[in-house]
Chains A and B, each alone.
Chain A
Amino acid sequence: MTRARDMDVPLDPRHPSDEYLERELNDDRRGEYRLLPKTVFALVFVAVLVVIRQVFFV
Chain B
Amino acid sequence: MNWGTFGYDVVEVIFVILVATGAVPVLAGAISFVAIPFHSVKNHYKKAGPCLPRVAIVVPAWNEAAVLAESIERLMGLDYPLDRLRVYVVDDASTDNTPEVVGAKALQYPGSVFHLRRDKGGEGKAHTLNHGIRQILLDDWMEALLVMDADVIYTKDSLRKMTRHLADPKVGAVSAYIREGSADKNYLTRFIGFEYVLSQPAARRAQNVLGAQACLAGGAQLHTRENLMALGGEIDTSSLAEDTITTFETQLRGREVVFEPLAIVLSEEPGTIDALWKQRLRWARGNVSVTARYKKIWFRPSKVHNLGSAAFGIVWFSLWLLPVAMVTSSVGLVGLLLIHSQLAVIVFRALWIGAAATFVFTLALAAQLDSGISRRAWREVITFPGIISIVVMLTAFFPKLTEVDIPGIFGLTLNDASLFILTLSIYIWIPFSMVGAWIARRVESTWIGGFLSPLLVYLVGYGSLLCAVTFDSYIKEIRHAEAKWDKTEKTGRVVA
Contact = CB atoms under 8 A, between A and B. Distances in A.
A11 interface: no
A41 B368 contact: yes
Nearest to A14: B81
Contact of B161 (A14, A22, A28, A42): A28
Nearest to B164: A25
Nearest to B205: A35
B365 A25 contact: no
A25 B79 contact: no
A36 B369 CA distance: 12
A49 B80 CA distance: 48
B361 interface: yes
B37 interface: yes
B20 interface: no
B156 interface: yes
Contact of B364 (A15, A25, A45): A45
Interface string A5-26: 0000010011110100110110
Nearest to A18: B50
Interface residues of B, number: 36
What is the interface residue range for chain A against chain B? 20 to 34
Contact of B45 (A10, A13, A28, A34): A28
Contacts of B157: 24
B365 A42 contact: yes
A31 B489 CA distance: 37
Interface in A24-56: 24-25, 28-29, 31-36, 38-39, 41-43, 45-46, 49-50, 52-53, 56
B368 A38 contact: yes
Interface of A is mostly: helix
A53 B364 contact: no
Contacts of A32: 39-40, 43, 45
B160 A36 contact: no
A14 B79 contact: yes
Interface stretch (B96-104, B398-406, B437-445, B474-482): B398-406
A29 B164 CA distance: 12
Interface string B30-55: 00000011011001011011101000
Given A22-B49, A39-B36, A13 B360 contact: no
Given A21-B50, A28-B262, A49-B356, A33 B79 contact: no
B365 A29 contact: no
Which 8 interchain pairs have the tightest Cβ spacing? A29-B45, A42-B364, A21-B50, A42-B365, A39-B37, A13-B79, A18-B50, A38-B368
29 contacts: A10-B79, A13-B79, A14-B82, A16-B79, A21-B50, A21-B160, A24-B157, A25-B49, A28-B45, A28-B262, A29-B43, A29-B45, A32-B39, A34-B40, A35-B37, A35-B39, A38-B37, A42-B360, A42-B364, A43-B361, A45-B361, A46-B357, A49-B356, A49-B397, A50-B357, A53-B397, A57-B398, A57-B400, A57-B401
